[in-house]
Amino acid sequence: MDGIKFFILLILILAGGYFFPQVYEDVDGPCQAVEKKLVRDKTENGLENSVISNLVLGLSNGDLGAGIAEDKFPKLPTRLGCLAIYYDSAEDRG
């Protein structure tokens, strides 16, 4: 019985880690979350919701984040690579 509880807890933690970036960034996928976080990290305060940044994010639709993930983690599936990039960003180290 303890094994089943542990397995369910593990599944819930992994699902939370997978879906957190999408929910927090209010986007549809982990690669889009990477893009939004990169825009937020690289723009001045208050400009992350500007027309230009929203246009860039809308046009890319996760392709830029997927490309970065494929370059940095070529052996991982793209969505998992995007998650790895999202959680391993300079903002988290600062």
| Per-residue pLDDT tens over the stretch 42-84 | 666 555 556 666 666 667 778 888 998 999 999 999 999 999 9
* Cβ atoms < 10 Å from Cβ of 30: 28
**Count of structural domains, the chain:** 1
Compute how many other C-beta atoms are within 10 angstroms of the C-beta atom of residue 94: 6
Quote the pLDDT of residue 1: 62
What is the number of other CB atoms lying within 10 angstroms of the CB of residue 92? 9
pLDDT for 49 equals: 57
Residue range 62-71, pLDDT digits in tens:
888 899 899 9
Q: Do residues 41 and 10 make contact, with C-beta atoms less than 8 angstroms apart?
A: no
Q: Is residue 82 within 8 Å of residue 69, measured between CB atoms?
A: yes
Q: What percent of the chain has pLDDT over 90?
A: 49
Name the residue range of residue 34's domain. Answer: 2-93
The average pLDDT across 80-93 equals 79
